[in-house]
Each structure stands twice: as C-alpha cells, then as structure tokens.
Amino acid sequence: MSFVSVNIESGSETPVKLTRRALAKQRTRERVLSAARRLFSERGYEGATIRDIAQAAGMSTGAVFASFSDKSELFDEILTADYEVIYAQMKQAAREGETVADALLGLFGVAYSFHLEQLPLLQASIAVSWTRSDAAEKRARTDIKHLFALITDALERGVQAGELKADVDAKLVAEIAWDVYVANYRRAVYDGWTVENLVAHLREQLKLILAGVRA
C-alpha cells in the first residue's frame, strides 16, 4: 500500500522470506495488538496497563515488552494500522467528489464511518493526543500528514477547476476543516450523533468555510 511506503522514510521494506522465528514474533505482535485494541477501547488509554494487556493476550509482560518498548508505542501502532486502512478509502472518496465540498465530505465521511464503529478507541486517541510526549506527537503528525495532504489536494483541484480563488491558502483552509471535523466527534460521543448527522453538520460548516475562498 502506497501509504505504508510513504510512511517508512528509508523505503527499506524489501520483501523478505520470514523465518519460523520471525513468523512467531509477528504472531505475538498481532496477539498483543489485538488484546490492546480491545482493552484501550473498553478502559481508555490510562485505564489499560501493559500488565492487563499481557494477561488478555495470554502472555507475560516480558513477552509484550519484547515486541513493544512501552504502552505509548503499542497505542501508536494500533492507530497507525487504522490510518493505513482508511487512507485508501478516503483517497478514493475524495477523488469521486465532483465539487470541493463533495470531495471533502467524502473523505471525512469515510473517517466518520470508520471511527464511529470504534468510538471509545477514537476518544482515547484524541485524549492522549493532548498529553503525549513530543516524540509521540511527532510520530502522530507523520501519520496525519498523509490524510491532511488529501484535503489540500482536494482544495488544489478546486483551484484548478476554477471553483476556488487562485490565491487560496490551502493549508489554512485544510487546517480549519480538520479542526472542525475532529471537534464534531464530540457530538457522536455525548449526543449520540450518527455518521449522517455528522456529515450533514460538516456540510454546513464547510459551506461557511469555503464561502470566503470561492472564485
């Protein structure tokens, strides 16, 4: 998947034949990730300890630490895997939109559909994003950069199509759209909004945001 190869900066992932030992290691990682995903969803980031996760995965904490250096790395790994899953879908949805607004609603709609299926994990990830280390923030920004580029691409296609002003600050518009998109999840959490509710609200918000930059 292109997202993965962009994300790995050295581009060193040549296909290798996994040895039996490497395969076992990979299976261990997967078991840990699966247990961690479940526990983070159920208890939030702070509420799930490495000890709990090891127990749920049926292994020792030492075995968990052989695969992951700490809880933060484990959590990041889950989120990165999720970004990889939705990136291709968001990209396609953006390309199918005829107008800028449709492209943006398409890509954000994919994200809403995906995250509403696992809302507690999303809540934990947003909460963590406010209190993580600088290193963890840097890793997260690398992931988000690719999603963010889909937004600026859609805006730039709007400029080329003559829909938006030529001098639009695509980065600034994308940032506002992103902030609003994220904040809307609060409505899903506390007001029970569905994907349809979120997309309808975002449509109104984008209409207002784009009004000032139309050609």
Please, which residue, 3 or 112, has the CB nearer to a second copy? 112
Please, which residue, 37 or 91, has the CB nearer to a second copy? 37
Q: Which two tokens stand for residue 7?
A: 């994300």
Of the candidates 60, 139, 155, 74, the one whose C-alpha atom is nearest the C-alpha of residue 107 is: 155
* Distance (Å, whole) CA 131 – CA 178: 19
Using CB atoms within 10 A of its CB, is residue 189 exposed (0-12), middle (13-18) or buried (19+)? Answer: middle
Please, which residue, 16 or 211, has the CB nearer to a second copy? 211
Please, which residue, 3 or 111, has the CB nearer to a second copy? 111
Please, which residue, 145 or 186, has the CB nearer to a second copy? 186
* Distance (Å, whole) CA 215 – CA 212: 9
Task: Determine the Cα angle at 193 with ends 190 and 197, to 5°.
Answer: 150
Q: Tell me how far, at minimum, the Cβ of 204 lies from a second copy, in Å.
A: 6
17: DSSP letter: P
Q: Tell me how far, at minimum, the Cβ of 175 lies from a second copy, in Å.
A: 8
The footprint of a second copy (CB under 8 A) covers: 44, 46, 123-124, 126-131, 134, 137, 169, 172-173, 175-176, 178-180, 182-183, 186, 189-190, 204-205, 208-214
CB 36 within 8 A of CB 15: no
Q: Tell me how far, at minimum, the Cβ of 44 lies from a second copy, in Å.
A: 5
Q: Tell me how far, at minimum, the Cβ of 12 lies from a second copy, in Å.
A: 28
Q: Tell me how far, at minimum, the Cβ of 85 lies from a second copy, in Å.
A: 22
Task: Name residue 164's beta-bridge partners.
Answer: 214
